[in-house]
Chain A
Amino acid sequence: MSTQSTSWVPPRAGRWPLFGAFTILFLIAGQVLGLTQSPADRDMGDLEKIIYVHVPAAWVMSVTFAIVMFYSLRYLWKRDERDDLAAAAAAEVGTLLNGLTLALGMIFGKPTWGVWWAWDARLTSTLVLFLIFIGYLSLREFVDDPERRAQWSAAVGILGAINVGIVYMSVRWWRTLHQMQSSPETVDATYVLALRVNAFAFLFLMIYFVRRRYESLCLVRAADHAAEAAALRGA
């Protein structure tokens, strides 16, 4: 017997478009600040400007996968399909940020390390994370039964999110080409402000993307429920 809830109303857009517009302005301000106000680094030169997109993308990617874990666990506990849809929305956005982190890291790596890619623990674990979530999104496309899809997705989502911890600790556990984790204590004050503003801008953008994607997934499921109910009445 299905435990999926069919009586809920999909969320409305509300003031989210306004939040989206604010986010874009905040992101533009952060990027301009990073590009124009931070001086060239002694060792990296102007390449340091890449940190204002690469580092926020990586940080916010981790937060997004933590959201996947939260909603996946909540789905397995409460069996409310809205939790499954929230996890799916976060997984899609997290995968996007994961891909972006990898691409920007490669662009950063070429002039600093001399290679586009190295099978270093941080890079490899980030690639594994990306592949797990590509698997998660593929799974959702190929499984038709909503309940089974939600259960399997939750399991993969939790496993994938656990891998975020491995990605984070990889620079401590193994000898890597990638530098250790940065914090405001290890980054020069000149760069901290732009890094913070961009980190929050990426965080707001992620929240906006996840919320709007969740809204669209809920609408599609609610449309399916309405069509099923109409078909049952007609039968």
Chain B
Amino acid sequence: MPPTANNWNFVIAAYVIAWVTLGGYWLFVHRAVRQARAQYDQAVSAAAKSEGTSK
């Protein structure tokens, strides 16, 4: 098939892959930040409690 033939299926496949990859990573990053923030808040409040009891 010459490159100048109708190759829109390849173009669409490229854009779908690009958007699914970047969109999927976007969701992953946001979930990772949310979970990390919750983990940090929990650890800090537990540390504050233990500091209070050790005094």
State the interface size on chain A (CB cutoff 8 A): 46
A44 and B36 within 8 A (CB): no
Which residues of the other chain, B, contact A96 by a CB distance below 8 angstroms?
Answer: 21, 25
The A-B contact count (CB < 8 A) is 118
A216 and B4 within 8 A (CB): no
A212 and B29 within 8 A (CB): yes
Q: Which residue of A lies closest to B25 (CB)?
A: A96
A122 lies within 8 A of chain B by Cβ: no
A107 and B21 within 8 A (CB): no
Q: Determine how close the nearest CB of chain A comes to the CB of B12; give it in whole angstroms.
A: 10
Q: Determine how close the nearest CB of chain B comes to the CB of A89; give it in whole angstroms.
A: 10
Alpha-carbon distance between A209 and B37 when the two chains are bound, in angstroms: 16
Q: Determine how close the nearest CB of chain A comes to the CB of B49; give it in whole angstroms.
A: 8
Q: What size tier do the contact residues of chain B reach?
A: 35 or more
**Contact among A50, A209, A220 with B10 in the assembled complex (CB-CB below 8 Å):** A50
Which residues of the other chain, A, contact B46 by a CB distance below 8 angstroms?
Answer: 226-227, 230
Contact with B along A187-227 (1 / 0, CB 8 A): 00000000000000000010001001101110110111011
B32 and A213 within 8 A (CB): yes
Q: Determine how close the nearest CB of chain A comes to the CB of B7; give it in whole angstroms.
A: 5
In the complex with contacts A107-B14, A219-B37, A230-B47 CB distance below 8 A: yes
Which residues of the other chain, A, contact B47 by a CB distance below 8 angstroms?
Answer: 226-227, 229-230, 233
A53 and B40 within 8 A (CB): no
A interface, CB within 8 angstroms of B: 10, 13, 20, 31, 35, 40, 42-47, 49-50, 53-54, 57, 93, 96, 99-100, 103-104, 107-108, 110-112, 205, 209, 212-213, 215-217, 219-220, 222-224, 226-227, 229-230, 233-234
